[in-house]
Structure 1
Amino acid sequence: MQRYFVEKEQFEHDKVRVLGEDARHIGKVMRGRPGDQIIVCDGAGRVALAELESIEQGEVLAGVLEELEDRSEARVRVSIAQSLPKGDKLETVIQKCTEIGAHAFVPFLSERTVVQYDAKKEEKRLQRWSKIAKEAAEQSHRSRIPELSQPLTYRQLLQSFERYDLVLFCYEKEDAKQLRDLVRPFAESCAEGASSVLVVVGPEGGFTEKEAETAAAAGASITGLGRRILRAETAGMTALACILYEAGEMGGV
């Protein structure tokens, strides 16, 4: 069943209004008719089954039939901090990690980032990234859209570490500590409550040794991701899936 995200204010008692592009999608693409049913989410945990009542240009009115249980969101909130990669690679990261279950995305600039940062262009890119996250959340039947922050400097990223219960800094030169060694005991210790994890992934050229040292000093756990070197756009997806598996969110124990 088709799923749409709306603002909280679009819920009005036992009615909900779907506006703009989503309304046009219902009317033009899905060829919706009164009596058809959709699922509507407010992005904050409310999920409802609704029946279409009227379809106008740019606005669809539906009646709420039933409040549904929110069961699609992971108990462990995993955010992906990704150093800005070249081209559209970050779009792939956002799309696929949203499907897997990422809680938020934190783009940042590191020493080997090759993308030339332009605040005006990044604002447009942020809008596109948000749209990709929304569409991926709808496709994967999530009840929340992952948060997207403005790109941070490396120093700002380090300062944010204190907000998380665990920070995993993915570093290809780390051999002693691998992801499972850090995630499994953490998942066991937080089995009874929600927790937050930040996965930090470098650019195409990886992190410098100095960056790894400053990350460790700021509280991050330096970790490897196995014997193979992963692409920048692959590392975050791999770490996310492993963390959610160990936390029991993907069939783990």
Structure 2
Amino acid sequence: MQRYFAKQGSEDGRFTISGDDARHIAKVMRMEKGDRIFCVSPDGRTALCEIENITGENVEAAVVKWEEGSSELPILITIASGLPKGDKLEYIIQKGTELGAFAFVPFIASRSVVKWDEKKAAKKTERLMKIAKEAAEQSHRSHVPDVASPTGLKELAEMAKSYSHKLVAYEEEAKRGEKSALAEVLGNMSSGQTLFTVFGPEGGLSEQEVSFLKEQGFRECSLGPRILRTETAPLYLLSAASYQTELMR
């Protein structure tokens, strides 16, 4: 069943879906009065709804029942990725959303080959947010991850100050055989706590960048004995978090 994120909460037991989502319901799905959809309110509550009216710009749906439970990860994980080449960032955001990431922060690492100017950044960020929304709908989530505009390392560290835990994935730690930091952090996290994780671009993070992050309270960690690609590493961590906080508890 289709799921749509409403821009406003339900009023009198009804949701109004507008814009692209309304056109998708009417033109793509060709739904009619009486068909049912899921609507998600801005506060993350999900309701089974029945379509009552379809106009050119809006779809009105009445709440049949509110859903119990949540499909969200019990911990809130932000993924900070050094800008990679090609469409790898789109892949990270699509799959990372499916795996439960709370937010994404692209950042300009010293080894990032890709450089976004201000005009491109706004357009690309808008596209990335659309990818996150569609992935959240597909995976039946109740939260659409935020996608920040590309930032620098210092700004990234400032954003992470309020987080409960902070990790930086560093391949040199894998080479040295480190294998306890990630498991220890995930094992000690309780529901509602936050984790900010930093991953380098294709060339990895420089020693200077890792040193700076350590000074800002980040802890180095490896992601197992194998060296992972920049688009694989965040997905490994999110999968490990799901296993530790959802399947093991």
In the other structure, the counterpart of 1:8 is: 8
Q: Compute the displacement of 1:31 (Å).
A: 1.4
Is the Cα–Cα contact under 8 Å of residues 182 and 223 in structure 2 kept in the other structure? no
Instruction: Determine the C-alpha separation between the residues in 2 that align with 1:206 and 1:186.
Output: 22
Instruction: Determine the C-alpha separation between the residues in 1 that align with 2:44 and 2:69.
Output: 6
In the other structure, the counterpart of 2:62 is: 63
Supply the RMSD in Å over aligned alpha carbons: 1.4
For 1:143-179, what per-residue CA distance to the aligned partner results, in whole angstroms no more than 9, with x for missing partners? 110111121111111223322111110111112432x
Q: Compute the displacement of 1:70 (Å).
A: 4.2
Instruction: Please state whether the residue corresponding to 1:63 is helix, strand or coil.
Output: strand
For 1:206-235, what per-residue CA distance to the aligned partner results, in whole angstroms no more than 9, with x for missing partners? 011111111111111111112222111111
Instruction: Please state whether the residue corresponding to 1:230 is helix, strand or coil.
Output: coil
Instruction: Please state whether the residue corresponding to 2:140 is helix, strand or coil.
Output: coil
Amino acid at match of 1:13: D
Q: How does 1:132-147 map to 2 (within 5 A)?
A: 132-147=131-146
Instruction: Please state whether the residue corresponding to 1:8 is helix, strand or coil.
Output: coil
Q: Compute the displacement of 1:20 (Å).
A: 1.2
For 1:17-66, what per-residue CA distance to the aligned partner results, in whole angstroms no more than 9, with x for missing partners? 11111111111211111111100002421211110111111211111111
In the other structure, the counterpart of 2:106 is: 107
1:50 and 2:46 aligned: no
In the other structure, the counterpart of 1:195 is: 193
Unpaired segments ≥5 residues, structure 2: none
Is the Cα–Cα contact under 8 Å of residues 43 and 145 in structure 1 kept in the other structure? no
Instruction: Please state whether the residue corresponding to 1:240 is helix, strand or coil.
Output: helix
Instruction: Determine the C-alpha separation between the residues in 1 that align with 2:22 and 2:160.
Output: 40
1:182 and 2:181 aligned: yes
For 1:95-141, what per-residue CA distance to the aligned partner results, in whole angstroms no more than 9, with x for missing partners? 00000000000111111011122011110001100100000000000
Is the Cα–Cα contact under 8 Å of residues 47 and 70 in structure 1 kept in the other structure? no
1:252 and 2:248 aligned: yes
Is the Cα–Cα contact under 8 Å of residues 177 and 222 in structure 1 kept in the other structure? no
Q: Compute the displacement of 1:83 (Å).
A: 0.8
Q: Compute the displacement of 1:244 (Å).
A: 2.3
Q: Select the residue among 228, 233, 236 that pairs with 1:235.
A: 233
Q: How does 1:81-92 map to 2 (within 5 A)?
A: 81-92=80-91
For 1:70-97, what per-residue CA distance to the aligned partner results, in whole angstroms no more than 9, with x for missing partners? 4111110011000111111100000000
In the other structure, the counterpart of 2:38 is: 39
Instruction: Determine the C-alpha separation between the residues in 2 that align with 1:18 and 1:208.
Output: 46
Which TM-score applies when normalising by structure 1? 0.93
